[in-house]
Structure formats: C-alpha cells, structure tokens
A and B are shown apart, each in its own frame.
Chain A
C-alpha cells in the first residue's frame, strides 16, 4: 500500500531526460524580467523605446511551419522561408512606419495585443554573457469591433546578451503552433 511498493510498468525502456541544466536562479530572474520588459513595451505601443533592447546584430525569424508525419517531424519548420525574416535595420524600418507616419493602416487604429510569456528556461552558452532562452508566448489580438480574439501561440527560441544591468535580444526565432496563421497579417511583433 505504500509508494515504495508501487512499480512503474512500461512496455519499453524509458530513456533518461536529456536536457541541459538551466542557469542559476538570479540570472533566470533577470532574464525573465527582461522578457517582461520586452512584452510591456510592445503591448503598450512603446515601439521606439523597444528598439533599445534589440542588438545591432539581431536576427528575427518566424519560420513557415508544415504539418508533417511524425517520422518527418524534423522537417516541420522551414529553415529558409519565414512569415518574418528581419534584422535590426528592417525592424527599425517597420517601427519607423508605425510610429512616424500617419498612414500605417494595418495598425491604425492599433490592435489591442496582450503577450503572455511563460515557461522560461535559461541556458548558458559558449559565449560569456550570452544565454539561450526558451519561452512560451501566448498572444491575444483584438481589432476594431471584433468581440473575439485572434490567438497566436508559439515557442520562442531567443538568445540574449548581457549589457550592463540588463540584456539585449540577439536572436528571436518564433516557432508557431499553427501551420496556417489565424490572422490576416503579422503587422505586430511577436
């Protein structure tokens, strides 16, 4: 009747968990705060300020995803074609259009967007002060008179670099959970 008596029965050998050990709790907390800052600035349309937390060598990629058989699961994400493929300069151009023109109609009136960022895991890398950051994104977008939400969920594979007391975003790869995007555009950042 005790737990010691219970035995796990599985019809195959269970492999051990193969994941590297995450970083220390202080770094984890700092990175998490950085991701919250990122989401806050985007949710509150503070896009010009947001550019501060992007690295000059930023790579921003949202690969196209396909439904594949389990055996081909490593081919789900395109390594060439994305819904977005940007660097710092092109992101800055997108922001320029949104904040400095009165004609960016796809976001004027602006969408109401909320970014929920969870399941943060931080790993050290070979480069001192740079971390790989896995995190989940649940994003709700509401526009005009619509009562329903456009929902976007994804896993973000970020890389951040320590800069003084905070970080900058070096890479963001957004692996979306839909093969067909459920909104008419990505005029917003993920």
Chain B
C-alpha cells in the first residue's frame, strides 16, 4: 500500500517510516532530526491550540505579557472591552519585535525602530509623519496590523492557534474535556496564577518531555525513586523495590491527550488512616479528601453543583493528577501526603516550547483556586515549588534525563535505535467508571503514551 507521502525528509525517508505501528516503535532519530523539526513547526505548531497563559495574568485593560508559541513570540493582551488577543510580536514594517519588555500595561504598542504603533487588538494605529504616508499607500491601514492568532479560553487558560481554519479547541481536547473540566472547572472563581511563570532552557528535543507527559507512570519507580526513599508519597509497607502504589490507577487518553487518575483510596489511607474509604459515599469522600485548595464549604458546594455525577465519581475515586494536552503541555496536580502527614498539594502546568531540534524552553505556571484562603495558597505554593518546576524534587530528575536522550539520538548508531511502547495493558474500564475516552485501568503501561505518538503520526502525515 504505497502512497506518496506529502512530507519526506531530504534523504527520502517518509514520516511513516519513522514508525513501526505493528511493533509499537518510534525511531530515536525523531529526538534530534532538524528536518523533521521543520515539518513539526509547519504541521503541529502552526496548526494546534497552544497554551500562552492564563487570564489572571492580564486582569486589567491594557495589560500584556509576551509569550512563546514555539519559536514565535506573541503579545497576549487585554483590550478596553476586556477581550483577550494574541498577536505576533513582529512589526509588519521591518520585522522588529514590537514589545521588548515581557510584561506591562499600555493601550499603544509602539515599535521602537520606526514608531509604527498598534492597539492591544493588534490593529495598526499609524506611523509617525502621518501626512507623509510613511506606511505607504499600497496597503490600507487595515492590512498593516500585527498578525493575529485565533484565541480561545478554557476555564481561564488562554489558548492560541495560527490556523484560521482550525477546529475549536474542544475538538482538540476530544473526550478528555470531561476530565479537564474536573481539573480546571470546580469553582465559580476558577484558577488564578500565583505569580509569573518560571522559565528555563533544557538542551533537549521538545518531544522528550512531550511524550513523557502523556502518562509515563512507569518511570516513577526508577527515576523518582528518591521520593519514596525519603518518605514523600508515603513510604508505607507497600513501597518495595518492585512496586509503588501510585504506579497503578486509571490512565485515560484521547487524541494524544492523556491523564493519570490515581486512586484516592491510596492517598486517603496515607492521610486519614483506618477509616474505610470504600464505605464512604462520593460526597463524603470529597468532603474528607477534597481536591487541592477546595477547603471552604462554599467551594465544596460549588464543586458539587458544577461537576456532573460522573465527574464527581471520578474526582472521588481516582482524580486526574498527572498528564498532558497534545502537543506540548504538561500538567501536574499534586495530591501528595507530606512526611508530616498533611496534604502537599499544588497545581502546576508546563508549556514545552521548542527552540530548535535540540532545545526547548520549559515554562511553569503555578496555580491556586482563586477563592482558596491566602494561608492555604501560600502553603500550596511552597509545596508546589519544592515539588515541581525549576528546583522541584520530582521534576529536577526529569529535566536532567531529557538532554541525554537528545544527545543519544545524534549518534550514527544511536539514531538507528527505537523508542519502544510495547508494554500493553489494553483497554479496561472498571465498573462504574464513565465511558469517556480510552480507559486503561491497572498498572500504568505504555498504552496512553502510544496514543500520543499515534496522534503525532496522524498530524504529521496529514
């Protein structure tokens, strides 16, 4: 069945040839190949919904932040009507970055080079020496605005897409929206950022972090072993050389989006002790072990009202905690007992912004529920900063691993190796679990991560 692929690498390799769909392997060369990277920019990063921030970062009219969509800088603004815009930070005159600071407030973004000026919605105000028509008479002003991306908000998260024909974000999220609603949509106040995001550069291909985010539960046993050795995540009798309780749970996946739903009974037992979790009603479970930051009665009532019966069931049995959004978002919602027996919780999201085939920028936002009391927010913030992001005890081990994979992919022999996703659990939906997305219950195997690659394959060969 040879069909001519639209995209081939210069040496004649077709994108399809980088995969063995039968044996579930991906060529390691994908983690370095500069030619493949250029195709990814065209097929994925100019056609997908990408996370650029949260609306709480630009609360007032004129507020802006400068963010990245892969290697393109964008200005994320709020206009006088309160609408949010995402504009390419490139002056259409001579290509200068219009904003050189990365945050601020202004109703006019004026390029420092020749003075072309733009409104927060990206439209062109004019150039100096208006009478002299310094912007020329070939194009009308309407055609001289900043390039605009499509914008959608999802529970306050700002997503942008360069593709004017792009289907709505909801289509990209697929059936996983059911689970993301649980994570982001529990309260009326919603989430807010606890400060500007951390940013750092990792000398690795973006897909090393991208594919891991899609439910690699297996690496917890070895790479994050130290967490159990020092007593985080509860070193009760069940942690052994061969097994860590949080490796089991329910992985759910659709369209390259995946989440690990981790047993609440496990967390409950470590935190609350003997009381029989299984005997409690859904509501009692959620009241005794509420999601991170849902601490007031008011917030709990909102959660019961806003989530459906099925969503409450999931939140009470095995809340989604770790995962991704295709292509380049990583989510870490922590429900972890600390050694002192309290709940060390935090809400983190990462964007993995490609900066060339061998480099990406790792952006980390720290969130809290807006209505969580300040004292609790503060405790969540320090627990989250100590767990994830730049210095987080968990994530510092991840970021040190990915550069090795990218370096390994450069070797003449290294690039002939494959990434293998051959540990198969198969679809299994526990009784009572809603019929949403593909459900893989039990020990976390390679199923969900493989769906990430299938989505990548689909998008890249389209």
Contacts and interface: CB of A to CB of B under 8 A. Distances in A.
Interface of A: 62, 64, 66-69, 72, 75, 78, 80-87, 90, 93-94, 96-97, 100-106, 144, 179-187
A81 B397 contact: no
Contacts of A68: 101-104
A127 to B, nearest CB: 25
Chain A contact surface mostly? mixed
B389 A83 contact: yes
Q: Which 3 A-B pairs have the closest CB atoms?
A: A81-B195, A181-B200, A103-B225
B403 A104 contact: no
A75 B196 CA distance: 11
B194 interface: yes
B393 A94 contact: yes
A156 B48 CA distance: 42
Contact of A184 (B103, B229, B382, B403): B403
Interface string B389-415: 111010111011111100000000000
B199 A181 contact: yes
Contacts of B393: 93-94, 97
B325 interface: no
Given A64-B196, A185-B396, 16 more contacts: A64-B195, A64-B199, A75-B103, A82-B385, A83-B385, A85-B382, A85-B385, A93-B393, A96-B230, A101-B225, A104-B397, A105-B397, A181-B199, A183-B201, A184-B403, A187-B391
Given A83-B391, A181-B200, A93 B230 contact: yes
Interface of B: 100-104, 194-204, 223, 225-226, 229-230, 339, 361-362, 366, 381-382, 385-386, 389-391, 393, 395-397, 399-404
Contact of B226 (A66, A72, A84, A104): A104
Chain B contact surface mostly? mixed
Contacts, number: 127
A83 B229 contact: no
9 contacts: A64-B197, A64-B198, A67-B100, A81-B196, A85-B386, A103-B225, A104-B397, A181-B199, A182-B200
Contacts of A78: 195-196
B194 to A, nearest CB: 6
Contacts of B391: 62, 83-84, 185-187
A184 B200 contact: yes
Given A83-B391, A84-B385, A103-B229, A185 B200 contact: yes
B395 A185 contact: yes
Nearest to B361: A180
A120 to B, nearest CB: 25
B386 A90 contact: yes
B201 A86 contact: no
B382 A90 contact: yes
B228 to A, nearest CB: 9
Contacts of A185: 200, 390-391, 395-396, 399-400
Contacts of A86: 382, 386
Contacts of A85: 381-382, 385-386
A187 B203 CA distance: 16
